[in-house]
Structure 1
Amino acid sequence: MTSSINSSPPWEQPESAHPQTGLEVFNTFTKSKVPFVPRKGNCVSWYGCGPTVYDAAHMGHARNYVSFDIIRRIMEDYLGYDLNVVMNITDIDDKIILCARHKHLLSQYRTQVTALTEQTIEDASNALYEFANASFKGLIELRIGRPIGCDDDWKAFALEVDDGNDEVFLASDLKASMNFKAARNAFRALVVARQKVAAGKTSQAEAGVLIDSCEDVLAPWLDRQHGADVTDQRIFRDLAAYWENDFFEDMDALNVRRPHVLTRVSEFVPDIVRFVQRIIDNGYAYEAGGSVYFDVAAFDGKNGHFYAKLEPSSKGNVALVADGEGPLSRRGNEKRSESDFALWKRSKPGEPTWPSPWSAGRPGWHIECSVMASEILGEQIDIHTGGIDLAFPHHTNELAQSEACFESQQWVNYFLHAGHLNVKGLKMSKSLKNYVTIKEALHKYTARQIRTLFLLSQWNAPMYFDSKSMEEAIAVERSLSNFFSNVTALLRDSRLHQQGSDAQRRILAPELDLLKALENSKELVHRALLDSFDTSTAIRAIQDIVARTNAYLQRGRSCIDPQTVEVVALYVSRIMRAFGLVAESPAQAIGWGIQAVSAEGQGTSTDRESLILPVASVLSEFRDAVREIALSGGDKKALLTLCDRIRDKDLPNLGIVIDDHGDGRALVKILDPEEIRRSHERREAEEATRQLEKHKEMQAAEEKRQARIAKSRQAPEDMFRTPEMCKLYSAWDDWGIPTADKAGELLTKSKIKKLTKEYEAQKKLHGKYLESQK
């Protein structure tokens, strides 16, 4: 039995007669690492909170789902657990409802607006004023003393913000800053729109430009007027379905395994109704105004129940509770306490509805996961995962609901929470619009590089996503990629040259040292993975054995044992697969799975044709060019140019790299063409940067040289008599050295000494100039 912090109850360690792996995990219940013991032998039930599908997935989502995919793979592929992974799709939610209505109403409005008119401008202006008054009410009252009702009011407020100290306030409140930028952009678009109307540019396209620029202020304005009229439930369903497909496209691109069971809230509404009724029957919930609320006070402390076990310090945090209820939640006196939360919401006009004993309504957010997890996995779960921002109130309320329904004390045994992904010190978030979508990230980095970034960090700790952190990940990924390509090429070359040969090489001290280093790395990796999936330590151990193997390979092909190298590479490949760095698709796994070497020659004739034909075409063109040069009496330089082109351009485009070695024999590597392209672009960018820096240095040196030449032309007796110097001095000696300042005061000895020194330096410089002219 282990006690957690503050006033939370003791956590009960599961018991099992089945042999354990020795794995320890960081459990949010205890805020410490505890032994992992599944309830049923080697079988592990796992529920992971899936996405709320209303927009594109961003790198904060990637942090969550890739991190837990790594843990899942370690448990399944390395430790041998038999997992049953369930993940939900939240397709009923306030954010989905608002987003769907906004998109629908904006689309309708665009269709209705056929020209840029005064009415369109007035609509956008009114939307701006309402948006500003809602977003900056207190600040507006403080700065201009009245609500914004015209352009002059907005100008006065914006001027106060720009000229005063409010920029500091906005910088500290990212959401306020985001809203201010949206409002300012809308106002600037309105200024331009009025100019276009005055100039007679009033086409529908011009109106579309204004609408696009004012989307953030127009959407809530239209929703307040017409949101209640949106009654077609397909509008909400279609939006969720679109973003669900988009989400799984991103997950597939990141090589995240699909869950064994996928659930959607819309498919479990009848189950949710029954679950809520059971909580009411047990005395832990009440109906009010057609909605049903969980009674925190009735639950906390009754029958051994404890509320807020995950985050005791957040208990009673009304702001977090309200945020968890959603932007469409009812405001009023329905709830008995501000800490109570909705299990069922009576739908207002413009919201999707399902039947229930209490009202035509929809589920609350928290109840959804409790029901879906319990319906599939039963009344107790081994592992529950999600981002740390869900610990309170979402996961806290999940626990309370489920334990209230089943009258149990530990619905989940192990809560695993992934740390935040931070951008410029702030959590990446859709609501703050400071996010990078997964697709944007994949346009710049490979999936393997992104996964490497997460492997280098502790899964439950905050981490940063920026160019510096990605540079480290790229360097690690590149070193591993080079290792696999070198070993694969070496083993292929070794097999080709040993065919028909009975020669065997005796294992010597270098091989024994390498194998001993491998055993040490294995032990370090194993200990690290059992230590709450410490992948960063495991990666360092892998890097060490890779570095040792690379050093061994420097002995040269005639002095190494390929079989020893293969043993190391097979182990490293096994760990890389357990980390998900080797894609499920063979085409994406090129260069990272050395077992492909022994499988050469297998496959259908269609596979062989698709693989061989592009290479054969390149070789045919090369042969034609060589023949032409030979028949025309061309020189050796032209042949070498052809050889360089096929090595540096033609074959790399097909994923083939020829690595010239000092022994005269080239090593052939098979790599991912996309990785070669990215590497080539990276080298070109680095070279361009070097050339630019070199050009700047040469330009600066030339400017310095020209300035020195220009200075050398001046006679020393004239250097202190220029118009600028005459403003500083009023008297000079016979050599032109100043003796008095502008006011006629004699200069000090030290000042005259300093000026004399400058005079002598100029005299020497001018002398060299005169000598050069002779």
Structure 2
Amino acid sequence: MPMKIYNTLTKKKEEFIPLEKPIVKMYICGPTVYDEAHLGHGRTYVAFDLIRRYLEHRNYIVRLVMNFTDIDDKIIDRSKREGVPIEGLTNKYIRSFLKDMEKLKVKGADIYPRVSEHIDDIIEFIDILIKKGYAYVSKGGVYFHVKKFKDYGKLSNVKLDEEKIHRVEDPNKRDPADFALWKFAKPGEPSWDSPWGKGRPAWHIECSAMAIKYLGECFDIHGGGSDLIFPHHENEIAQSEAYTGKSPWVKYWIHTGFVTVDDEKMSKSLGNFVTLKEILRRYDPEVVRFFLLQRHYRSPLEYSEEGLKDTMNTLERLYNTLENIDAVLRDSEIKYKLEREDRETLNTLTDLWMKFYSAMDDDFNTPEALKYVFEVSSCINRYMTASNRPNRSTLLLARDFFKIVGEIFGIFDKYYGSSQSEDEEFKHLVDILIDIRNKLRKEKNFPLADEIRDKLKKIGIQLEDTPKGTLWKRVV
């Protein structure tokens, strides 16, 4: 079954065929670094991290570029308000953002270009647009003449006569829909020399210039939040395709849904946001990450404390399944003749694994994929409870499935990062203590046997006495 991705540009799911297989070139719009990142930012970057991880799991080589907007009106205003240099302010929030992403296990981009370090590239880009007749110099700066680009609106379906593209009346524009490429400097603002006068880049031009510099004139995936479709990404397409003369500039456009609070978009302007720093102080980062991935990336995600607590409990149940598998594995055996329950369980696990892949291949459908993860958990738990002699290969198949899920979703580190790295000497030591405890119980020395059990529990080892013998597992 081919992998399909919903393309905002064509408004339909399309088979994913990269331009230079197996390389996938991806550009993600990064943050404007004037404040702490909130949960809505986390949702976008965790979603694209899952997309990247799945592509890599499918043996693609992902080349990822994500920018930092470090020159912007909001940055200038905050710098003035707090009396701190712009560079110090932006460096502070870039470090903070990267630290949040590291906690959420978002894999790093190959490069994080900053606007302030690509002024020459942006000036050259604008100069070519002027020479081609797509841009013009005015008293306010340099503007892109939208009516010169006949395909304007193809991403967002916005028409030039719609009121929402005439939000700001500017006498310096030839047409109300035109957008700025270069802003002339106001007193006290940071500025750079250009052929048209001292100034700074406007917002949209930065992503076009940096994406083309690092990924080429055409590339595979451009992504961001749904709020960027218009005007940011629409304007990027116009200026980029005017610059290169090639269409489409980007083959697949991917956009994430909003995090909502009481059905309203989480945003700083509405004051209904929660920062990643705050939520990561109250919840394990893996819980937050799993919460952000349980809804489809294009759907709205309602934030609530109840939702996070439910996620924490769900994740704990999956961890319990992993620990149960690990415990039963120690007393399992390789069967050369499978019993009916062994065959049925193997068939069920194989079928669910294939359904997991089918869901992920269908536009990264995480809710559907997780449904099969939970079914695998139920299936293997039933098998371990019912079988008197669990087949080692069956248990290993289930554990391998969860390992792949963990790699794609960025979860289960507490198991695969710690439990599986235990050396044989540690496991052997626990088995020796269990053997001693069992002998003490036979001798009816229950106080000392209980003391061994309690002390093991204090270091995260839980014993369970069953008709099949004493099993142990780590308590996460």
Q: Same fold (TM over 0.5)?
A: yes
2:386 to 540, 544, 555: 555
SS in 2 for 1:307: coil
* Maintained 8 Å contact 2:335/2:392: no
Query: Does the 8 A contact of 2:105 with 2:410 survive in 1?
Result: yes
Aligned residue for 1:312, secondary structure, equals coil
After superposition, the C-alpha distances for 1:658-712 in whole angstroms (9 at most, x for unaligned) are: 132233844322354xxxxxxxxxxxxxxxxxxxxxxxxxxxxxxxxxxxxxxxx
Amino acid at match of 2:340: A
8 Å Cα contact 1:455/1:539 also seen in 2? no
Q: CA deviation at 1:99?
A: 1.1
**CA-CA distance at 1:657 after TM superposition:** 2.7
Tell me the amino acid that sits aligned with residue 309 of structure 1. K
After TM superposition, list the pairs within 5 Å mapping 1:751-766 onto structure 2. Answer: none
Is 1:399 the equivalent of 2:243? Answer: no
> Residue 15 of structure 2 is aligned with which of 25, 35, 52?
35
> Quick one: which of 132, 150, 155 aligns to 1:310?
155
Residue pairs, 1:481-496, within 5 angstroms: 481-491=319-329, 493-494=330-331
Name the residue aligned to 2:414.
590
1:279 maps to amino acid: L
The farther-off stretch of 449-458 and 266-275 is: 449-458
Answering whether residue 376 of structure 2 is matched by residue 531 of structure 1, we say: no
SS of the aligned residue for 2:251 comes to strand
User: Match of 1:270, SS?
Assistant: helix
Aligned AA (2:15): P
What's the CA shift string for 1:331-387, capped at 9, x where partnerless? 741112221111000110121111101111100000000000001111111100000
Provide the rounded CA distance (Å) in 1 between the counterparts of 2:116 and 2:75: 13
Verify the 8 A CA contact 1:485 1:592 in the aligned structure 2.
Answer: no
- C-alpha change, 1:592 and 1:472, in structure 2 (3 Å) is farther
Where 1:397 maps in the other structure, the secondary structure is helix
The structural deviation recorded for 1:641 is 7.0
- Residues 83-102 of structure 1 aligned to structure 2 (within 5 Å): 83-102=62-81
SS at match of 1:547: helix
1 CA distance for matches of 2:399 and 2:232? Answer: 44
Distance 2:453 2:335 in 1: 36
TM-score by length of 2: 0.91
**Which amino acid in the other structure matches residue 41 of structure 1?**
K
Residue in 1 aligned with 2:405?
A: 575
Q: Distance in 2 between matches of 1:506 and 1:308?
A: 64
Counterpart selection for 2:423 from 575, 600, 604: 600
Equivalent position of 1:24 in the other structure = 4
Closer/same/farther in 2, CA of residues 63 and 569 from structure 1, 3 Å limit: same
Q: Tell whether 2:450 aligns with 1:646.
A: no
Matched, 1:283 2:133: yes
Deviation at 1:572, TM superposition (A): 2.2
What is aligned with 1:430? 268
Moved more, 521-530 or 444-453: 444-453
Structure 1 letter corresponding to 2:133: G
**Which structure features the higher share of helix residues?**
1
SS of the aligned residue for 1:458 comes to: coil
Deviations 1:76-103 (A, max 9, x none): 11x1112111111111111111111111
Does structure 1 residue 381 correspond to structure 2 residue 205?
no
Select which of 288, 305, 321 maps to 1:450. Answer: 288
How far did residue 448 of structure 1 move?
A: 1.9
Judge conservation of contact 2:221–2:250 (CA < 8 Å) in 1.
yes
CA shift in 2, pair 1:314/1:97, >3 Å = farther
SS of equivalent residue, structure 2 residue 345: helix
SS at match of 1:313: coil
> Is 2:470 the counterpart of 1:661?
no
Q: How much does 1:523 deviate?
A: 1.8
Q: Pick closer, same or farther for the CA change 1:316–1:264 going to 2, 3 Å.
A: farther
SS at match of 2:386: coil
What is the CA distance between 1:578 and its match in structure 2? 1.6
Residue 40 of structure 2 corresponds to 60
Q: Aligned with 1:513: secondary structure?
A: helix
Match of 2:346, SS state, is helix
CA distance in 2, matches of 1:317, 1:358: 31
| Aligned partner letter, 2:461 | V
Within 2, Cα distance between the matches of 1:517 and 1:566? 14
Aligned equivalents of 1:523, 1:637: Cα separation in 2 = 48
Shift of 1:314: 6.0
CA distance in 2, matches of 1:360, 1:593: 53
Aligned AA for 1:359? G
* C-alpha contact (below 8 Å) 2:261/2:302 kept by paired residues: yes
**Which residue of structure 2 aligns with residue 268 of structure 1?**
118
Unaligned runs of 5+ in 2: none
Inter-partner Cα distance in structure 2 for 1:537 and 1:551? 22
Q: Which residue of 1 aligns with 2:258?
A: 420
C-alpha deviations, 1:732-762, integer Å up to 9, x for none? xxxxxxxxxxxxxxxxxxxxxxxxxxxxxxx
Gaps of 5+ in 1: 1-20, 105-233, 324-330, 583-588, 603-607, 627-634, 673-774
| 2:165–2:176 Cα contact (<8 Å) kept | no
Q: Deviations over 1:408-449 (max 9, x none)?
A: 231111100001110111111122221111121112222222
- Could you say what secondary structure the match of 1:559 adopts? coil
SS in 1 for 2:85: helix
Q: Cα gap change, 1:321/1:50 in structure 2, threshold over 3 Å: closer, same or farther? A: farther
RMSD between superposed Cα atoms in Å: 2.8
- Determine the C-alpha separation between the residues in 2 that align with 1:265 and 1:361: 13
SS at match of 2:190: coil
The 1:561/1:664 distance shift into structure 2, 3 A limit, reads closer
Q: What are the equivalent positions in structure 2 for 1:607-618 lying under 5 Å apart?
A: none
Query: Does the 8 Å CA contact 2:453/2:463 hold for their aligned counterparts?
Result: no
Q: CA deviation at 1:571?
A: 1.8
Amino acid corresponding to residue 311 of structure 1 in structure 2: S
* Superposition deviation, residue 467 in structure 1: 2.4
User: Who is 1:513 aligned against?
Assistant: 344
Counterpart Cα distance in 2 of 1:659 and 1:100 = 57
Cα shift readout 1:482-510 (whole Å, capped 9, x = no counterpart): 1111112222x338xx8xxxx85632111
Q: What is the alpha-carbon distance in structure 1 between the residues aligned to residue 453 and residue 389 of structure 2?
A: 29
Shift of 1:251: 0.2
Deviation at 1:466, TM superposition (A): 0.9
Say which of 87, 102, 107 aligns to 1:257: 107
CA distance, structure 2, for counterparts of residue 407 and residue 564 of structure 1: 56
Aligned pair in 2 of structure 1 residues 84, 282: CA closer, same or farther (>3 Å)? same
Q: Partner amino acid for 1:401?
A: Q
- Asked if the contact 2:46–2:293 (Cα under 8 Å) also holds between the matched residues in 1, the reply is no
Cα offset for 1:612? 12
Post-superposition Cα deviations, 1:500-553, rounded to whole Å, max 9, x if no partner, equal xxx856321111011000111122112111111111111111111210110011
- Residue aligning to 1:126: none
Max Rg structure: 1
Alignment-mate amino acid for residue 82 of structure 1? I
- Asked whether the equivalents of residues 419 and 474 of structure 2 are also in contact (C-alpha less than 8 Å), the reply is no
Partners of 2:424 and 2:8 lie apart in 1 by 51
- Percent identical: 35
1:466–1:564: structure 2 CA closer, same or farther, 3 Å change rule? same
Quote the offset at 1:642 in angstroms.
Answer: 4.1
Partner of 2:30: 50
1:341 aligns with 2:179: yes
Amino acid in the other structure paired with 2:152: Y
TM-score, with structure 1 as normaliser: 0.57
* Cα separation, 2, equivalents of 1:249 and 1:658: 34
Output the amino acid matched with 1:575: V
